[in-house]
Structure formats: C-alpha cells, structure tokens
Structure 1
Amino acid sequence: MADVRDYNVLILSLSFMFIFTAFQTTTIIEESILKSAKNESHHPSSFKASGYTSLCIIYASFSLFNWIAPPVISMIGSKFSMMLGGFCYLFFIFSLYFVSKYVKCDLSGLLYAASVVVGFGAAVIWTAQGSYLTLNSTDETMGRNSGIFWAFFQCSFLIGSMIVYFCFKPENGSTLISLHQRSIVLLIFIALSAFGTLFFLLLRKQKSSTESDRQEILVVNTRDSGTRTEKKGNPKKTFVNSLKLFITRPMFFLNVVFIYTGLELTFYSGVYGTSIGNTLHFSESKRLIGLCGVFIGVGEILGGGIFGIFGKRISAKGRDSAVFLGLIVHYVAFFLILLNLPDESPNGSSHRMGYLIQPSVYIAMFCAFLLGFGDSCFNTQIYSLLGNFYSDDSASAFAIFKFSQSVAAAVGFFYSSYLGLKFQLYILMITGFLATISFFVVEKMTRSRPRYQSNSNENVYL
C-alpha cells in the first residue's frame, strides 16, 4: 500500500509539473505576448485582448466554480477530474496561440471564453489534487508529500522560464516578441500540457476492503491503519458539506491566509515579470521575464525540498515557524523591489529609476528567488495543515482554499491594471501580516484538536 501511495504521489507531481510548465509560464508572458501582437496589428485599436483581463476572468471563474468542484469529483473521482481539468488548460493555451497569431482579427472573445473554461478546469483539477494527495498520504507523510509535490510542481517555473529565456532572444534589436517566437513557445506549451494530462492515466487505484461501502465524503480515514480511501458520494450533500465547512471558526481564519496567497500569486505570476519586462533600464528586458521565472522556480523548489525533507519534524514542532519565515522573506523581497523598479512598471514601459537606486538585474533576480521561496513556505504548510486537520473532508477544504485564493487573485489582477507598484506592495505587506497571525491562531487550534470534527459545535463561526 505504501509503495502504491508513493508511486501515485510521484505521478501526480510529474503530471502537474508538465501541465503547469505550460500554464504558469503562459500566465507570466501572456500580457507581454498580447502587447507585442497588438503592436503588429495594422489597427491596434481593434485588438482588444488583454492579459490582465484574461487572468482576472480566469481567477474570478475559478472562484465561482470551486463550489461545484467537490460534487464533480464525487461523481467521476479524482483521477478523471484532474484529466478533465488538464484538457481545459490545453484549450486555453490553444486559444492564446490563435489570438496572438491571427492579429488581424479580434479574437479577444475566444480568449476570454477560454479563460472561463480554464477557470472551471482549475477549480476541478486543484480540488481533485488536494483530495488525491490526502488520499495517498497519512498523518505522518502528509507534510513530506506536500513538500515533494510542491518541489516537482514548481519545477514547472524553472523549465518553462528556461524555454522562454532561450526562445525570446531579441530579433533585429526589437523589444517586442515576434510572431515566430511566440508561436514556437506556445506550441511547445501545448505539447507539454497534452502530455501532462495524459500522464494522469498512469495513476494506480488503491484497493480497500471497504470499497463497496457508500459514503458521502470523498476521503475517509481508517482508524486502525491510517489508510485513506476515496468514496463516491452524493453530490448535493457534498456541496452542502462545503458550505457548512466554510462558516467554521478555523476556516474563517484560514481564509485570511488563503487571500494572501492569492494576492501574492497575482504578483509573482503576472505583475512582477511584466514589471521587469517594462523596465527599459534592463537590456533585453523581455528576455529577463523568462530568467525571472527561473529564479522564482528555484526558490519554490528549494522551499518545497526543504519542507519535504523536514515535513514531519516541522509538523510536530509547529508549522507556524515556517509561515513566519515566509513572511520575513517576502518582506525583504517587497522592500528591495520597491527600491529597484519604477512605480509605473506594472502597466507600461519606463526609463525611470527605482525609488533609491538604478534598476539592477541582480537585485531583480534575487527578489524573484525570495518571492518563490516565501510562497513555498506558505503553500506547503497550508497543504500540510489541510491534509491533516481536514483529512475526513479534504475535497471541501481544498475547494474553499482555492475559492478564496482565486477570488483574491482575481481582485489582484483587476487592481494591477490601475495601481502602481508601490501601492500593490503595500497591500501585500498588510495582508501578509494578517495572514501570518491568522495561521498562528489555526495552528494553535490544531494542537488542541488534531483533526476537524464536522459535528462539533465548537467549530462553527457565527
């Protein structure tokens, strides 16, 4: 059984690595690709597609569809839910390819429709992933498996960004991304996304002596062995359970943490790379977007590796110390970014200096590393906490996590089109502090009650 679980965690991690090598890198370069395509159009005013708008739609629809993700998973199971989500990501990258290639036509409607589709796919694939990771873990291995998954998953940043770095070499001194360059990159991402989706077929089913029992939850603990098994249940009751879980006291505090992860996801996956690409003090600034992603990926992988190796020890001593480390790392990154990049860089090209210094590539890449490492501190501990505390209702817990995170990400992408770098960093600093305090509160709850009890009135927040 242990061998099957470890095998499934590895296949799960590799599948996500391939799919998100394509998608995460696409989100980083989407705004730059569409701006380059617009400049190639003979009628730029008729080219309406916007990367920030697309990403805002993705995360807004992601948040709404999270409420129907647990019922979908209860009907078709985690494995095929993840495959369904993978095909949605594939469709989105296809749509961006056509929009950026046929610049004479206004295909923004196709892109925005695909953004809604991928929002649905994201809700299903991430809720299913949380449920499946919990299914193939025990209380002792949840922290380790969360770290392993996160390290492999964030290799996607490293691989995808290396592709962008080598493919986006300036042509004839232009600062734009040519049709040939963006077509090659997006076709590579289409192939990787398709491969990762089909890779889910290699997942193996665990055998259980209680497999014929009908339950209304997706993952249950067998008290004697600690084994967790997946059950198909009633979609309506699964939806109602999600709503009830949302108003519990621990989830109230956790939502503050989820919101911060959504806002900083917006920043490191969309805003920061675009800001570097718009800082014209950097030579080959568009190419540096790829290098930025490499350093974010290195930070994510290092954090995931550390928390994977020491996951059991961290869980025993308290996950709040890892989250506090993440906050400090992010604060250092935010301060240096404020000094290094122009305030208007998220929304337009700029020749200006940062607040106190001339923009430095070395500082920019160091900050990218810090953003990635800090993000891994928060996310690995969230996965570990949810997998242990909500092991009997993991699908609903992870759906709420992704709901709140995606709502915050949608809000973040919306205000990114209007706010300068300074105010965006101030928002992150305030919400990061509140998120850390909230995580401390929930971690204290888990020490007194190691597993969530859905029938306990103590959990209800009113």
Structure 2
Amino acid sequence: MFAEKLSARNFELVCVVMLGFGHLCIMTGCDSQAFILESVIHSIHERDPSTINSHAGYYGQATCYLAFVLTCLLSPTFLYATSAKTTLFIASVCFTSFPLGFLYTNQYYYFFSAALNGVGFALYYTGNGGYLTSHSTRKTLEANVSISWAIGSSCMIVGSAIIALITYFTAGKQNITTDVVEVVGNLTTVSAPFERRFSDTEIYLLFSVFAVISGIGNLTFLLLPSSDIDNCIESSKKTVAFRDGIKLMGRAMISPKMFILIPMFILTGVHTSFWVSIYPTTLTFNSYLSSMIYLPAIYSLGVGLGETIMGMFISFMSKRVKNFGMLPTLLIGCFLTSLYCLLIVLSTPADAPMAPTNDLPWLFQPTRILVFIIALIGGMSDCCLCSVRSVICAIAMPNRRDQAYSVSKFYQSIGTCVIFFISPFLNIYYYTFGIPILCIIAAVCFYHEARRINLMEQNMTMELDQAAQRKRTSLYETLE
C-alpha cells in the first residue's frame, strides 16, 4: 500500500534514505568508538592492568575483521535463506552488542562482542548491497549509492557531537595542565604531559549513548519497505539452495573480474584501518596534544562532513557525467588519500600509532584546524573508494552481485585485519608511504576492468539498437 501511493522514484528515495539512516544509527557507535577505542582501552589498562591488554583496542578490531573475513564466505548464502531486510536487522543487533560490553568491561566478552561485530559487518554489507540492487535501476544506482552513503556517513557528525558533549561534562571542566611537574629530591622538573586519558564515567556515558542509538538502527531496519521496485537491477526474491550458494561464492572468488580488483579492495581495507583507528589514536597518544581534549570530536566531525559532502558531489555529478561513479571517482579518491597521508606524515610523531610518545613530528604539531582539514580530506577519500566499490560490484558480475559484494568485503577485511594485528609494531611511515603506492596499483588495475565494462555496455547497447532497428524494418515491410 505504501509503495502504491508514491511514484517509483520517490519510493526508491524513501527506501534509500531509510537504509542510509539505519546505517547512520549503527555506525555512529561503531565508527566513533573506533576513533578512540585504543586510547580508551589503554586508559582502562593504566588503571587496572589485569582488566584488559593495553593493545586490546587494536587486537579487538583485528578480531572483528577476522570474523568479518570468515563470515563473508557465507553471508550471500545467508541472504538467500532470509532476505535483505532480515539480514540488515540481524546485522544491526550484532553491532549493538559491542558498546554494551563497556558498561562493565570484561576481556572475554570484549573479544566475543568484537567477533560478533565482525559478523554484523559481513551481514550488513551483503544485506546493504542486496537491498540497493532490488531498490535501484541501472540509471539510478550510482546516485542511490551516493545518497545512502552520504546519509550513513553523517554518523561521524552525530558521533562528534556526542563525544564533544560527554567530554565537556566529564573532562572539559577539569583543570588540564600542559606539563607534568615532577619532584626529584630538592629539584622540581617540568616534563612533557601524559597522553589523553578517559575516565570511567566518560567511557560509561559514551558507550551507553552509542548502544541506544544503535538500538534505533535496529528499529529502522525492522521497518524497512521490503517490496522491490519495477525494473530493479536484481530482484530480492531468490531461490538458491545452500549448496548452490556456496558454488556461486566459489566461482566469484576465482573470477578474473574480481582478481583484477583485489588491489582496490585491499586499499579500501588498509585505508579504513588507518583513518578509523590508527591516525585518531596518534592524536591521543601524542603527549603534546593532551590538553586538546576535543580532538576526537573535531576529527569525527571533519570525517563526517567529508563523507557527506563527497557523497552529495558524486550523486550530483553521476546525473550529469556518464560513469562518473567509476574511474573518475576512484582517481579523485586516490589523490585525496595521498594528500591525506602527506599531511599526516608531516605532522605526526613516528611512534605515535604504537604507544604514548613525547617525540616531535617532521615539521609541525597538529592544530585543531589542521586535524579538521585532515579529517575532511580523509572522509572525502573514503567516500570515493567505498562508492566505487559498491558500483563496480553491482555491474562487474551481473549474475553474482551478492557474491561480488562479499568478495570485495572479504579482501577489504583481510587488509584491515592484517593491519590491526601488526599495528602495535608499525610506525607512521609504513602507512603514509605504503597507502599511496597501493593507490597507484589499484588505479591501474581498476582502469582495465572499467574499460572492459564500458566496452561490454557499448556492445549491449549496439545489439539492442540493432534489434530495435530490425523490428522497425520488419514492421514497415509488413505494413507495405
């Protein structure tokens, strides 16, 4: 009934907006907590080392993405057994389990919920791709992906407001000195300050709010319209047996179309681990920034604005430039990613990703404005890479779209998982030099696949035109 009261395009937009809002809710906690997770865990460990490992922030996210990797192999088959809407709802419940663990920190539940979070990631992105393709046409896909992503990525803006408010009421009114005074014998010395630390009250309030907002996401996915649109890219009504689903996934894994895109998928994963957790951690581990307690909120705001602005830009350009959501968007994303890395390497102490440090960066210390600019660029670059991945997976393998989404997330999560496992041992240079090199490799490989798709679509258009011409000629001869 609801769908019948709206035009086809308006119904598409309602579905896409609700999908984006659900994304916003479940990712508000997921992304915002990732910005501060290593620092929060380090603060808990400093107060009670027996509670949790000091690097559990990185290791927990590594566990999350390891579960993500494994679940990606089965998530398309799970989608066939249920529906995109049900898959999204179950995924959102998995996300909600993680922030609840910080109401009473327990190392065992922490790693269990981190793994459950990884399961949620795999199910969510499979369900997201399935829902988009059943509620988009080929002409509206690029715009719908960008709209959904722009709305969902506003989660960082919401997260920044939450972090700023709770920081103000729990830590902002405290007298925070920029130096630590030590008395040694009869001498008083002034040393560099401690890193930014989070109190138990601050942690409790932050993760309670994240859990509540994630619960709103559960409700949103439960209320999603489920009927497909006319002329959708792929119907949600699939009757595929479990064994056949596994075979389809296996074929997609070894497809040359996916192999050539592996560098792009890995780039997205490595870049995600860097902007979501590793660089934000350097801001709290840099002792000279300990008085800037609002940096996590500033960073979250910048990333959210960058994601939203770029999502709107891609949607606008996709309506006016054919295939703008493919190679042009990827090239913009690679350029912005390289610029992001350049600014970071110039302003970040080398050892800041690994542990609290008093070392100085190459050229200058980050300021609030610089952190905001870096975050803005990082959000814009991430939006480009993720939008391209969604579009290419929808059209590269027309008969195995769900599997293509899962393959992309499989390799993306491998990149993220590996980086998080080894991140306690990597300084800033590994990321800021390695990621731009990976951008070049990904762009070259993507160019070849994009050219193949363009040729395929041109041939299909010519065949359709020729068939239409033959039909018109036959009709004309019949009339004569």
Please confirm whether the aligned pair reaches a TM-score higher than 0.5, indicating the same fold.
yes
Query: Is 1:125 matched up with 2:124?
Result: yes
Query: Is 1:300 matched up with 2:303?
Result: no
* Secondary structure in structure 2 of the residue aligned to 1:296: helix
- Decide whether aligned partners of structure 1 residues 452 and 84 sit closer, same or farther in structure 2, where only a CA change above 3 A counts: farther
**Structure 1 residue 124: deviation in Å?**
0.9
Q: Report how many residues are paired.
A: 429
* Secondary structure in structure 2 of the residue aligned to 1:84: helix
The separation in 1 between residues aligned to 2:348 and 2:427, in whole angstroms, is 11
- The correspondence for 1:404, drawn from 399, 411, 425, is 411
**Structure 1 residue 185: deviation in Å?**
1.0
Q: Structure 2 counterpart of 1:307, which letter?
A: I
Query: Is 1:442 matched up with 2:445?
Result: no
Query: Is 1:248 matched up with 2:248?
Result: no
- The correspondence for 1:353, drawn from 360, 376, 380, is 360
Match of 2:24 in 1: 17
* Secondary structure in structure 1 of the residue aligned to 2:23: helix
Q: Is the 8 A contact 2:298 2:371 kept in 1?
A: no
Query: Is 1:192 matched up with 2:213?
Result: yes
- The correspondence for 1:376, drawn from 383, 399, 404, is 383
Match of 1:173 in 2: 176
Q: Structure 1 counterpart of 2:211, which letter?
A: I
> What do residues 57-105 of structure 1 show as CA deviations (whole Å, max 9, x unaligned)?
0001101110110111111111011111111111111113321xxxxxx
Match of 2:150 in 1: 151
The separation in 1 between residues aligned to 2:228 and 2:383, in whole angstroms, is 33
- The correspondence for 1:80, drawn from 65, 86, 92, is 86
The separation in 1 between residues aligned to 2:434 and 2:360, in whole angstroms, is 22
Stretches of structure 1 lacking an aligned partner (at least 5 in a row): 100-106, 209-221, 454-462
Match of 1:203 in 2: 224
**Structure 1 residue 283: deviation in Å?**
4.8
**Structure 1 residue 393: deviation in Å?**
2.2
**Structure 1 residue 363: deviation in Å?**
2.1
Match of 2:327 in 1: 320
The separation in 2 between residues aligned to 1:178 and 1:87, in whole angstroms, is 27
- The correspondence for 2:59, drawn from 53, 58, 66, is 53
Query: Is 1:136 matched up with 2:135?
Result: yes
State the TM-score, normalized to the length of structure 1.
Answer: 0.88
Q: Is the 8 A contact 1:27 1:270 kept in 2?
A: yes
- Decide whether aligned partners of structure 1 residues 207 and 19 sit closer, same or farther in structure 2, where only a CA change above 3 A counts: closer
Q: Structure 1 counterpart of 2:270, which letter?
A: L
Query: Is 1:388 matched up with 2:395?
Result: yes
> What do residues 267-309 of structure 1 show as CA deviations (whole Å, max 9, x unaligned)?
0000011111112222534431121111111111111111112
- Decide whether aligned partners of structure 1 residues 312 and 389 sit closer, same or farther in structure 2, where only a CA change above 3 A counts: farther
Query: Is 1:339 matched up with 2:346?
Result: yes
Query: Is 1:428 matched up with 2:431?
Result: no
**Structure 1 residue 317: deviation in Å?**
5.3
Match of 2:107 in 1: 108
Q: Structure 1 counterpart of 2:78, which letter?
A: V
**Structure 1 residue 318: deviation in Å?**
6.8
**Structure 1 residue 163: deviation in Å?**
1.0
Q: Is the 8 A contact 2:138 2:233 kept in 1?
A: no
* Secondary structure in structure 2 of the residue aligned to 1:310: helix
Match of 2:294 in 1: 287
- Decide whether aligned partners of structure 1 residues 452 and 347 sit closer, same or farther in structure 2, where only a CA change above 3 A counts: farther
Q: Is the 8 A contact 1:4 1:206 kept in 2?
A: no
The separation in 2 between residues aligned to 1:26 and 1:80, in whole angstroms, is 25
Query: RMSD of the TM alignment (CA)?
Result: 2.1
Query: Is 1:92 matched up with 2:98?
Result: yes
- Decide whether aligned partners of structure 1 residues 241 and 348 sit closer, same or farther in structure 2, where only a CA change above 3 A counts: same
Q: Structure 2 counterpart of 1:359, which letter?
A: P
Q: Is the 8 A contact 2:41 2:52 kept in 1?
A: no
* Secondary structure in structure 1 of the residue aligned to 2:323: helix
Query: Is 1:71 matched up with 2:77?
Result: yes
Match of 1:31 in 2: 38
* Secondary structure in structure 2 of the residue aligned to 1:349: coil
- Higher mean Cα deviation, 379-388 or 418-427? 379-388
Q: Structure 1 counterpart of 2:453, which letter?
A: T
The separation in 2 between residues aligned to 1:97 and 1:345, in whole angstroms, is 28
The separation in 1 between residues aligned to 2:156 and 2:64, in whole angstroms, is 19
Q: Structure 1 counterpart of 2:223, which letter?
A: L
* Secondary structure in structure 1 of the residue aligned to 2:82: helix
Q: Structure 2 counterpart of 1:235, which letter?
A: F
Q: Is the 8 A contact 2:318 2:325 kept in 1?
A: no
Q: Is the 8 A contact 1:340 1:364 kept in 2?
A: no
Stretches of structure 2 lacking an aligned partner (at least 5 in a row): 1-7, 178-195, 461-480
- Decide whether aligned partners of structure 1 residues 39 and 318 sit closer, same or farther in structure 2, where only a CA change above 3 A counts: closer
- Higher mean Cα deviation, 329-338 or 146-155? 329-338
**Structure 1 residue 11: deviation in Å?**
0.8
Q: Structure 2 counterpart of 1:192, which letter?
A: I
> What do residues 24-58 of structure 1 show as CA deviations (whole Å, max 9, x unaligned)?
111111111111112222xx255326100000000
Q: Is the 8 A contact 1:143 1:315 kept in 2?
A: no
- Higher mean Cα deviation, 288-297 or 168-177? 168-177
Query: Is 1:160 matched up with 2:159?
Result: yes
Q: Is the 8 A contact 2:135 2:232 kept in 1?
A: no
Q: Is the 8 A contact 1:274 1:345 kept in 2?
A: yes
- Decide whether aligned partners of structure 1 residues 402 and 452 sit closer, same or farther in structure 2, where only a CA change above 3 A counts: farther
Q: Structure 1 counterpart of 2:436, which letter?
A: M
Q: Is the 8 A contact 2:133 2:235 kept in 1?
A: no
> What do residues 346-396 of structure 1 show as CA deviations (whole Å, max 9, x unaligned)?
122223221122333322221111111111111112212222333442211
Match of 1:456 in 2: none
- Decide whether aligned partners of structure 1 residues 317 and 161 sit closer, same or farther in structure 2, where only a CA change above 3 A counts: closer
The separation in 2 between residues aligned to 1:159 and 1:407, in whole angstroms, is 29
